[in-house]
Amino acid sequence: MICRSLILFSLLCVLNNSTFADWRGFRGSSNNGLPEQTIDNWDGKLEIEWQVDLPGRGLSSPILVGDRIYVTCSSGPMQERLHVLCFNQSDGQKVWQRNFWATGRTITNPRTCVAAPSPASDGKHIYAFYSSNDLICLDLEGNLLWFRGLSYDYPNASNSLGMASSALAINGKVVVMVETDDDSFATGIDAKTGETNWMIKRPERANWTSPVPTSDGKQILMQSSAGVSAIDVATGEEVWKYADGAATQPTLTVVGETAYVPSHGITAIRPGNSNADVPEIVWQVGNIRPGVASPIADGENLYVINSSGVMVGATLKDGQRLWQTRLGGKFSASPVMAGGKLVALNEDGTALVIDPNNKGEVISKLDLNETTLGTPSVGTDGLYFRSDRHLYKITVD
């Protein structure tokens, strides 16, 4: 009887894991473009399983918690209406929708919109963040738990282009970076109460990169034009700083102790041994330069899409170029990994599947025929794309 119960328990665990792989923030639960659970036996074909209408624009990524998808949008003449929507992964049926009024500045460049930052989740709550500096906490059923209009506290923290840095849920805190040419700050907010735990000043220059956790989850790497700072999650204190400048759109990616930073091309850094305040530069390569899309690493290699729409594969060990492929178009969405293949979406709405093990060969394409700037999400049995008008599920089994 005990043996039979153990077998049943194991089967339930397998089924549970295969059904509920999450994707909890910008570029996934670990903010690196890799899924929690590998997709097996996907041939790379792109077929739309379902698509649903969205009530407004958005550059934010869909996030996945359990068997549901959560998406943010903005609408209205001044994009003053903020939306959070929840759908079933299986059939795209809408479960609930919540609407709020923006409390901060909603003016953006026409190319972007107020729903540019991606939401985040800790598995129990949804933290929706907007260019208006409104941060909203809902439970998974859509009940409002708290609302922070950060512009009340920091009225000069905005710019005319719009903000895009995504929220990060980590160790009981929600961390956001709000960096402009005027007032700039980052803050760690208590995930339960919405109260500010810590706030730090940041370089006063517009910045659209997002916070990324270190592999042990104790620190957050914050990238800006000034460089990269490692911030203690609990206290907000700076642990170390790389001060040689960095890009303000593509966000670094972390593998183990090493961060691959869009700085002078790509610069690989890791915590210093001789001086704990300054990281060690592992290598620096100037001819691999990401455009807007963030780099992604998998296995022993790093992949970058430059401003000309060319994807480059290079080694993590020393940045040596392995191959390059012209994908075509401009890319704002960051590539993700699914089933051992790279998935990239250009701004014209063309999705491409690339084989990194065959010199970047493009395996398949799918034209959505609408502007698409949001980074895809990867679930157990599907990819999720979002445009300004629709949410798509792409079959991968």
Return phi, psi of residue 62, to 5°: -65, 145
pLDDT at position 6, please? 44
| Residue 37 located in a structural domain | no
Question: Is the pLDDT reported for residue 110 higher than 70?
Answer: yes
Return phi, psi of residue 59, to 5°: -105, -5
| Residue 54 located in a structural domain | yes
Residue 297 structural domain: 47-395
Question: Average pLDDT for residues 366-385, to the nearest whole number?
Answer: 95
| Residue 28 located in a structural domain | no
| Residue 38 located in a structural domain | no
| Residue 42 located in a structural domain | no
Give the tens place of pLDDT for each residue, 341-367. 999 999 999 999 999 999 999 999 999
String of DSSP letters for 75-110: ESTTS-EEEEEEEETTT--EEEEEEEE--S-----T
| Residue 223 located in a structural domain | yes
String of DSSP letters for 271-284: --SS-TTSPEEEEE
Question: Is the pLDDT reported for residue 16 higher than 60?
Answer: no
Q: Is the entire prediction scored with pTM above 0.75? A: yes
What's the CATH code of the domain at 276? Answer: 2.130.10.10
| Residue 61 located in a structural domain | yes
Structural domain total, the chain: 1
Beta-strand relationship, 94-101 and 81-88: antiparallel
| Residue 7 located in a structural domain | no
